[in-house]
Amino acid sequence: MDSAVTFGRLAEEIAREAGEMLLAKRPARPEVLATKSSPTDVVTALDRASEELIRDRIKAVRPDDAILGEEGGPTGEGRVRWVVDPIDGTVNFLYGVPEWAVSIAVEMDGEVIAGVVNVVPRGEVFTAVRGGGAWLAGERLSCNTGVPLERALIATGFGYESGRREVQAEVLRHVLPRVRDIRRGGSAASDLCSVAAGRVDGYYERGPQYWDYGAGGLIAAEAGARVGGLEGRPANPGLTLCAAPGLFEELHDLLLPLDPERDA
């Protein structure tokens, strides 16, 4: 079992099962188990239950593979690594906002070869394998092209720490007059899939972690988008950008002089 397609199918099967479990077990207001980076960055008991389910299913089939999970951190070694966000958009999940996802990416030798983002409340499962396109419900996805910056609908997100939010608000103040409008969904994985599906034209955010954009980044790229960071760097927690070629460069050049990677 070493083809991207086979890994993608397994990742999809596991992401669907985790999503079904989360829907079945989510109470009216899930209990907050702990906080992560700040009191507003929560983790629920079901975050951990979801990741445990995903890890168990992977290990049952691929016991020697490495896993990087948001809640459990890195485990194992090997040329295959699974990158897992058990609930991307935990605050949305907590409040019942229907914009959260289970995200699973599969790396081989350090390159993401398959990705699945299950936007559970919408019943939408986005998939991609490297070189095989991005897909939703049997339809191949294609990002919007030829959209100039001033007509672009741009998705973004905000951090949890107040100092970072101050900077993000300042950056947004400069971006908003230059674009069609801004959308803030609350899930980086879902936002990247929205670029892939043409629901927004672009996306930028300071702070998303690898498990947030690993799968969604591949899906967006396979739909024709460019995914990266500032000044030629790959996507990273400092800043992740995503848009069709042309708009990507315009958005990049708008953001760069604003120094969006800084924290107050």
User: If DSSP states are collapsed to H, E and C, what string results for the chain?
Assistant: CCCHHHHHHHHHHHHHHHHHHHHHHCCCCCCEEEECCCCCCEEEHHHHHHHHHHHHHHHHHCCCCEEEECCCEEECCCCEEEEEEEEECHHHHHHCCCCCEEEEEEEECCEEEEEEEEEHHHCEEEEEECCCCEEECCEECCCCCCCCHHHCEEEECCCCCHHHHHHHHHHHHHHHHHCCEEECCCCHHHHHHHHHCCCCCEEEECCCCHHHHHHHHHHHHHCCCEEECHHHCCCECCEEEEECCCHHHHHHHHHHHHCCCCCC
What is the pLDDT at residue 40?
54
* Residue 177: both structure tokens together: 């007059």
The mean pLDDT value of the chain amounts to: 94
212 is catalytic: yes
The active-site residue out of 65, 88, 99, 222 is 88
240 is catalytic: no
Residue 225 has pLDDT above 70, yes or no: yes
Neighbouring CB atoms inside 10 A of 58's CB total: 23
* Residue 95: both structure tokens together: 């409040």
The active-site residue out of 14, 58, 67, 87 is 87
* Residue 214: both structure tokens together: 């690993």
pLDDT digits (tens, 9 = 90+) for 57-90: 999 999 999 999 998 999 999 899 999 999 999 9
Between residues 155 and 33, which one has the greater pLDDT?
A: 155
Is the Cβ–Cβ distance between 29 and 46 less than 8 Å?
no
The active-site residue out of 85, 99, 107, 201 is 85
**Phi then psi dihedrals of residue 240, to 5 deg:** -120, 130
What is the pLDDT at residue 206?
98
What is the pLDDT at residue 216?
98
Neighbouring CB atoms inside 10 A of 227's CB total: 21
Average pLDDT over residues 14-30: 91
Average pLDDT over residues 129-154: 98
85 is catalytic: yes
The active-site residue out of 212, 219, 240, 250 is 212
205 is catalytic: no
Asked whether the CA dihedral 229, 233, 234, 238 is positive or negative, the reply is negative
pLDDT digits (tens, 9 = 90+) for 146-205: 999 999 999 999 998 999 999 999 999 999 999 999 999 999 999 999 999 999 999 999
Place 37 in a pLDDT band, splitting at 50, 70 and 90: low
Vertex 209 angle, CA 89 and 257, to 5°: 105
35 is catalytic: no
154 is catalytic: no
Is the Cβ–Cβ distance between 256 and 230 less than 8 Å?
yes
The active-site residue out of 44, 90, 127, 240 is 90
Q: What is the pTM of this model?
A: 0.94
How far lies 225's CA from each of 78, 90, 228, 233, 244, in Å? 29, 26, 10, 16, 4
Place 39 in a pLDDT band, splitting at 50, 70 and 90: low
The active-site residue out of 51, 65, 70, 71 is 70
